[in-house]
Structure 1
């Protein structure tokens, strides 16, 4: 995005009113918020927030989320993706963002909690290219229990002490029986009918990404791009930390294209988790030369 118009459009989508003051300068406002935007060169803007720290944090997250969504849309186009494996789908928030971003290929969502999977199926009902599997993904086919918590925090792992202190929802929950499957056993069904599949793996399993990744087995070679939540401060027991996750993904042939903060610990300013996007470099460029600036 290199024009003033595109940046103003971004801010308007985030709910701001944008008023031009003159060449290269504008005031951006929302109720109770005043932000000055100054153009410092043709491709860079500086945003000065004139309000409290908490409000600054919210606006930074909104802008970061927008950048992450734009990167994701660009990545799917560059890789010519036609099948997204949405692991840890919850009620379909990620898949809906993909559709709003212009992705029209197949989405295969995996959600193990029966009541949530039912909501997911209802959301996907009128989308013929959106398939729902009622199971979790892991490194073994088994029946087990998941800790069902409010919102999107259900996990096969118990909450860590830090997690319980950080978020009240991680102190709640009840155990429910679910099915866990290996991805390599479901892969053919997921891509059935797609000519020349170009598969992207999205992992958001509340601490279980590494097990789900391992369950892809030899089919990992058919996945050209992926993303995973990686932990700087584990909120679940036995959840791997960022260096271990990144090392495992890199050893399987993936390399980082972007990292985007998901959550922070406000008291210490630490990032708790990042979304990391990765590609097989040999898969890049199939749909044409990569954009130099997105």
Structure 2
């Protein structure tokens, strides 16, 4: 005798519903498109649209890559749609048993695997290394923000909000205060932060003294108050443009009260990416730089901008103020020689860790 549950499952297809019976007491009911159940290991199944073209590839113990096939043209798609469910499932199961194009690289004893597409990583190794450095830097910073209980990040040279967005994606929930002086980039920043009440944005730059200055624009993320060096002009064609925009510059110490308003126990972190102007921003903090538990600055080994400090000069100033290096991550490399042009330098006050 059929149970009420079983009779209901038999009735649903007559009402236009698709039913996939997963086992005793479990079923997947959907309005559109049939599903198929693809075993990917002991105790684990993949539910996919029937004829959805999913490929399942094992890359390590308990590690699987699930990707959608990309048929070469309409004929391939039509052929795939014509395949019965059993054939599609058999194909997926066969793919699941074979190690596909993905290369699994074990990351030490962490239990994690780095999955590499050999075709994507077979080109210029610098591209892969810089992408890895950016990833590692972002995770290092967010881990430090948590460890040092940072509740306000000063994002100086915010551009269109890339840094703030990355912090949010990686789980930072504290206040972000972003400063971007150029009008076009600020419009994008303002839009990005519009629905985040803990992300404040200001349309001015920071420096050693209050001033009104001209900034070079139309250099995308490399807009600078400083002119390019001969080396910079040779490296970046964008520096051939000479458009400028008048902007307001304020001292960091003058905006801190407003930026930290409402925080009972402020623990700020200073991030600077101002294309050669970081030391000017830092100098504008005066004695209040002592309130920052950590900082991040883009430091240069090869000068792109006239008057910008070299890495050893900038780091010496930061260290004299009590900060110590926790990480150095390449930002750009010189194509011809492989030399690092700039590093993201992450520094903290060890005494502020509470450890």
The two structures share one fold, judged by TM-score above 0.5: yes
Correspondence 1:246-257 to 2 at 5 A: 246-257=315-326
Counterpart in 2 of 1:292? Answer: none
CA distance in 1, matches of 2:153, 2:56: 36
- Asked if 1:101 is matched to 2:170, the reply is yes
RMSD: 2.7
1:42 counterpart (91, 105, 109): 109
Q: Report Cα offsets for 1:220-248 as digits up to 9, x if no partner.
A: 01011000000011111111111001100
Q: Which ranges of structure 2 fall in alignment gaps of 5 or more residues?
A: 1-54, 71-99
1:107 Cα offset (Å): 0.7
| Contact 1:26 1:36 (8 Å CA) reproduced | no
CA distance in 2, matches of 1:86, 1:183: 11
Counterpart in 1 of 2:129? Answer: 60
> Do the aligned partners of residues 126 and 50 (structure 1) sit closer, same or farther apart at CA in structure 2, a change above 3 Å counting?
closer
Counterpart in 2 of 1:188? Answer: 257
- Asked if 1:204 is matched to 2:273, the reply is yes
> Do the aligned partners of residues 24 and 235 (structure 1) sit closer, same or farther apart at CA in structure 2, a change above 3 Å counting?
farther
Counterpart in 1 of 2:347? Answer: 278
Q: Which ranges of structure 1 fall in alignment gaps of 5 or more residues?
A: 1-16, 290-294
TM-score, normalised to structure 1, is 0.83
Is the partner of 2:276 in helix, strand or coil? Answer: coil
CA distance in 2, matches of 1:41, 1:143: 52
> Do the aligned partners of residues 138 and 34 (structure 1) sit closer, same or farther apart at CA in structure 2, a change above 3 Å counting?
farther
Is the partner of 2:154 in helix, strand or coil? Answer: strand
1:48 Cα offset (Å): 8.8
1:68 Cα offset (Å): 1.2
Counterpart in 2 of 1:89? Answer: 158
1:84 Cα offset (Å): 0.4
Q: Which has the higher contact order (CA 8 A, sep 6+)?
A: 1
Q: How many residues align?
A: 269
> Do the aligned partners of residues 66 and 41 (structure 1) sit closer, same or farther apart at CA in structure 2, a change above 3 Å counting?
closer
> Do the aligned partners of residues 94 and 105 (structure 1) sit closer, same or farther apart at CA in structure 2, a change above 3 Å counting?
same
> Do the aligned partners of residues 54 and 221 (structure 1) sit closer, same or farther apart at CA in structure 2, a change above 3 Å counting?
same
1:148 Cα offset (Å): 0.7
| Contact 2:278 2:297 (8 Å CA) reproduced | yes
Is the partner of 2:220 in helix, strand or coil? Answer: coil
Q: Report Cα offsets for 1:45-91 as digits up to 9, x if no partner.
A: 79998567644332222222221111111010001000000000001
1:20 counterpart (19, 36, 58): 58
Counterpart in 1 of 2:314? Answer: 245
| Contact 1:137 1:215 (8 Å CA) reproduced | yes
1:39 Cα offset (Å): 4.1
| Contact 1:24 1:38 (8 Å CA) reproduced | no
Q: Report Cα offsets for 1:134-192 as digits up to 9, x if no partner.
A: 11111000111101123211100001111111111122241111111110111111101
Counterpart in 1 of 2:236? Answer: 167
- Asked if 1:261 is matched to 2:353, the reply is no
